[in-house]
Amino acid sequence: MSKANTKKRTKEDKKKLALRIIAIFLAVLMVLGVAYYTIMILASTIHADAPAQQTETLDTSSLKAGGDVLISVGITYDATMTTSYAVSCAAGFRLGSQELDGDRRFEELWELPGGTIVCASDANLTESRGTYSIASRERDTDIGGYHIEIDCWDCEREDLVDLIDDHGRAVNRMGYDLIPAYIDGSYMLRIGDFSSERDARNALEDLEDLIPRRRMYVVEPTDTAVTVFDPDEETILFEYDCRGDTELGIAANEDRHGNTYLTAPSGNIYDGVFAFRRVVSETEDGVSVINIIPLEAYIAGVLPYETSNAWPIETQKAFAITVRSFTLTNRKANSKHWGHKFDLCTEVCCQVYRGAAKINDAVMEAVLDTEGQVMTYGNKIVVAYYVSSMGGVTVSAQDAWGGTEDIPYLQPIETPWEDYMNHENAFWISEISPSALCDRLNLAGYKQLRGEIESAEIVEYARDSTYIKTLRVTDTYGTTVDITPCDSVRISLTPYVKSANFVIGRGSVEYTEDVVVSESARSSSKTEEKPKEPETYGLDYAYMDLDDFYVITADAEERTYFGDSIAVLTENGKIDYQKRDIFAVTRQNAAAFEGTTVLGPDDPYTDDMKFVTETVEDKSDGSTKTKIARAENSDNFILVGKGWGHGVGMSQWGAFDLAVQGYDAREILEAYFRDIDIRDYRRTDNYR
């Protein structure tokens, strides 16, 4: 062999070897990369699912054991109500008759296997992107509201099962389904879903001899009927119509941890029963979803959202007692929602309730250790109001809302322990132009004001409080209005204020900043240390109501009040976000992220404003600083305020501060509610 050929082959061999090494190296990198991303995906999935996993494995069944009270909570109603509502449960469903008043008894009628079912108005339904609505045209119908009914008025549940077993296949061969139903207090069988009475009558002629000795007739949709169907197969599984005397109830079978959770379209999980109440009016046709749940399970579903499941345990215990007291004084006839057939809604106008997803060991401890306990005054359960923060002092219920009754346990109380300068949204500054202030007051109902506001004067403070009871405003035409009482002041000026505990000036205003000092908050010796924030806590107070905002979704631009979840088109495709997990970072809620709320001169959603402040006086003990805040535009009004909410009762952040200082739940409650006692609700005058 020549040297040239040997050299050539040697070079080729070296080249091949190098290519093999590179290929092996790249293959190793690829394997390592796949492994790395697999681990990262698994880790992120575990992290993302951590709260849900915790709820799935945590046995919360003990929350249903004590007490004799069931609470009804409106999950959807009015503007949030839809024609159809999907419910999921892997363990299977129990369907039954649910009373909304009286003992709120649930009587099981039927069972369905696990998965996802949809409860909807029994009408001609049309599907669009997984959502069902009333079909405007017969030809658009996907699930029909007309049925052939087989008279089974003398049947028990077992008889209905036998009829389905005996005749189901024959009906299926003819292209129809047998539908178990409960109508006017009796089991019935229905056949098919038709878009018109004509189609149903044509089918009836072919079916009349199928089940002998049973009368058959066509039934049309009613305003009280609810249908349950499989959204994948679009087959009806059950129908219910008791003319509103009772409603369809759906409960979950127990999972392997003993829990009975139903998953809503929002992703929230709920214990108890879902009642589906058909509501028909001139403008809407849908199902109102009402969660019927034992008292203690409801308290556990409120606690993590009105405080945090990572806050001090004594704060959580104090709030468990407070929430229980508020709940039991807002049931049935006392409820502002009783016209909707439930006690409380899920939002801040009642109490924020999102179900069981955030229940952890601390929440369980707080609820079970205080099981049945309420605050009482004169052996009657108190109306236990609370807010996010007070800003150094509370206000009496009488001054907050007016009226002649002065509630003894809801009196003004100084709260020097409240570190509001370091809490979310508890200290805020805003600026508003004279014309924007007039516009805002017009929206609040003061239509007589015109043009611009010339002056704003604090006429009267609430008794023993810095909350404004009467604010007098005058426009450039000389028209004057007095805004009163305290909560009307707050509501009229929202979103520029978060409470009625503020000062206002034109161009500039003098205000004070209070600093928590080592002196004990109350007249007993406790650990004298500055409150510290917990290592972790939710941004629950950063949430702002997104009603009237617009979101560009996968389908269109939509207003955010339409439901609990929003489909947002992202770089990863269409993703369903829960409404409670979406934040609009604006000047109105920026304090949750930056520490100070800053509102623009004309519109609270414009670019950040820069406020100039200067210290003019320091008290010798260092507890108070007097400052001046100056508006960017000297012609504008500037407002400096403290606290968030109506100011009556207990402060959420103040209760946190007291717990960190060493106070227990009873002492926290006694700091905010005068002359109260704590006892079991079953031994109060309300329940004797």
Residue-wise pLDDT for 200-241, tens only, equals 999 998 888 788 788 999 999 999 999 999 999 999 999 999
Query: Residue range 525-553: average pLDDT?
Result: 40
> What pLDDT shows up at residue 577?
55
Please give the pLDDT value at position 213: 80
pLDDT band at 514 (very low <50, low <70, confident <90, very high): confident
Say how far apart CA 279 and CA 291 lie, in whole Å: 16
pLDDT band with cut points at 50, 70 and 90 for residue 429: very high
CA separation for the pair 586, 544 (Å, rounded): 10
Cis peptide preceding 531, ω within 30 of 0: no
448, 433 Cβ separation under 8 angstroms: no
For the whole model, what pTM was predicted? 0.80
Q: Are 76 and 120 in contact (CB under 8 A)?
A: no
On the 0-12 / 13-18 / 19+ scale of CB atoms within 10 A, 48 is exposed
Phi-psi label, residue 262: left if phi above 0, alpha if psi -120 to 50, beta otherwise = beta
Q: How confident is the model at residue 49 (pLDDT cuts 50, 70, 90)?
A: very low
Of the pLDDT bands very low, low, confident and very high (cuts 50, 70, 90), residue 568 is low
Quote the CA–CA distance of 153 and 147 in Å, as a whole number: 17
Question: Cα–Cα distance between 676 and 668 in angstroms, integer?
Answer: 12
Phi, psi for 402 (deg, rounded to 5): 80, -170
Tens-digit pLDDT profile for residues 251-274: 999 998 889 999 999 999 999 999
Q: Answer with the residue of higher pLDDT: 513 or 605.
A: 513
- In this structure, the number of other CB atoms found within 10 A of the CB of residue 151 comes to 16
Instruction: Please state, in angstroms and rounded to a whole number, the distance separating the CA atoms of residues 335 and 349.
Output: 12
**Residue type present at position 575:** I
Q: Which of 105-109, 278-282, 463-467, 488-492 has the lowest mean pLDDT?
A: 278-282
Taking 70 as the threshold, does the pLDDT of residue 20 lie above it? no
- pLDDT class of 44 with cuts at 50, 70, 90: very low
Q: Following DSSP, what letter does each residue of 446-463 receive, concatenated?
A: -TT--S-EEEEEEEEEPT
Residue 609 DSSP one-character state: P
Domain layout of the chain by residue ranges: 85-293, 294-406+648-683, 420-537+587-641, 545-581
Do 644 and 538 touch, CB atoms closer than 8 A? no
Model confidence at 664: pLDDT above 60: yes
Could you give the 3-state DSSP secondary structure of residue 482?
strand
CB within 8 Å of 356: residues ≥ 6 apart: 55, 60, 259, 261, 269, 270, 271, 297, 300, 301
Question: What are the Cα distances from residue 190, in Å, to 13, 163, 281, 544?
Answer: 80, 11, 27, 47
Q: State residue 252's pLDDT score.
A: 97
| pLDDT surpassing 70 at residue 522 | no
Tokens standing for residue 121: 């108005």
Contacts of 653 (CB under 8 A, 6+ apart): 388, 389, 418, 419, 420, 423, 424, 426
Higher pLDDT, 478 or 10: 478
Comparing 39-53, 109-123, 417-431, the range with the smallest average pLDDT is: 39-53
Distance CA 347, CA 341 (A): 16
For the segment 70-79, what is each residue's pLDDT rounded down to a tens digit? 999 999 999 9
State residue 542's pLDDT score: 32
Amino acid at 168: G
Which string of b and e fits 597-617 if b means at least 16 CB within 10 Å?
A: bbbbbeebeeeebebeeeeee
Top-ranked range on mean pLDDT: pick from 143-157, 254-268, 466-480, 598-612: 466-480
pLDDT of residue 617: 75
Residues near 201 by Cβ (< 8 Å), separated by ≥ 6? 218
Contact 207, 174 (CB under 8 A): yes
How confident is the model over 573-619, as pLDDT tens digits? Answer: 555 555 444 545 444 444 333 333 334 444 443 334 456 777 777 76
Position 39 pLDDT exceeds 90: no
- Per DSSP, the three-state class of 171 is helix
* Dihedral of the alpha carbons of 303, 309, 311, 316, in degrees to the nearest 10: 30
Exposure of 564 in the CB half-sphere (CA atoms within 13 A) = 20
